[in-house]
């Protein structure tokens, strides 16, 4: 039976941090799933990802979102990260914001890399149910993932990040 949702690594923050990195990701799976459960120390413009520490403008994303009254869609090309969420307020506490990111065919060395994320914030200030598709224009295998806040905002102590591997066969 193929291995699915095999834990690769999990990190729980012991102190506030601006980012979390999973490094030395093995190439032995087909897809990756990243589960993020976090709270922020301030109003977060968004939470994003970078692969292999690439800070260049090699990312793009398209988002569909709703805040309980309005639905919207935005996109960004030639950006320095793949965003996963809309703005998140400080009323969100631990357990009140989660993001599920599926990163497909991450270890291949011939195609650009795509991901799909679903983010939830049932926040009194900036609520949102979002889905985002992202692209990293690089053909190398993904060996590290950095999940990051925006600006000077940090992830709060107790935020958890878990990376799973999925095998197609």
Binding residues for other proteins (CB under 8 A)? 4-5, 7, 10, 35, 37, 64-71, 73, 93-98, 100, 118-122, 127-131, 160, 162, 164
Nearer to other proteins, 38 or 58 (CB): 38
Angle (CA) 41 42 44, round 5° = 110
Q: Compute the least distance from the CB of residue 9 to other proteins, in Å.
A: 9
Nearer to other proteins, 36 or 154 (CB): 36
Nearer to other proteins, 21 or 67 (CB): 67
Q: Compute the least distance from the CB of residue 144 to other proteins, in Å.
A: 19
**In 3D, which of 166, 149, 153 has the Cα closest to residue 36?**
149
Q: Compute the least distance from the CB of residue 99 to other proteins, in Å.
A: 9
Q: Compute the least distance from the CB of residue 70 to other proteins, in Å.
A: 6
């Amino acid at each position: 039976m193929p291995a699915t949702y095999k834990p690769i690594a999990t990190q729980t923050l012991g102190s506030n941090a601006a980012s979390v990195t999973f490094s030395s990701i093995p190439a032995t799976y087909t897809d990756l799933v990243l589960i993020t459960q976090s709270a922020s120390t301030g109003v977060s413009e968004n939470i994003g990802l970078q692969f292999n520490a690439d800070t260049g403008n090699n990312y793009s994303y398209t988002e569909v979102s709703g805040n309980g009254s309005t639905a919207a869609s935005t996109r960004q090309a030639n950006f320095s990260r793949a965003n996963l969420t809309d703005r998140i307020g400080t009323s969100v506490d631990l357990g009140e914001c989660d993001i599920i990111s599926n990163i497909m065919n991450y270890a291949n060395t011939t195609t650009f890399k795509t991901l799909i994320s679903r983010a939830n914030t049932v926040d009194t200030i900036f609520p949102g149910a979002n889905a985002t598709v992202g692209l990293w224009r690089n053909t190398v295998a993904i060996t590290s993932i950095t999940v990051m806040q925006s600006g000077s905002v940090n992830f709060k102590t107790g935020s958890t990040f878990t990376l799973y591997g999925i095998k197609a066969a």
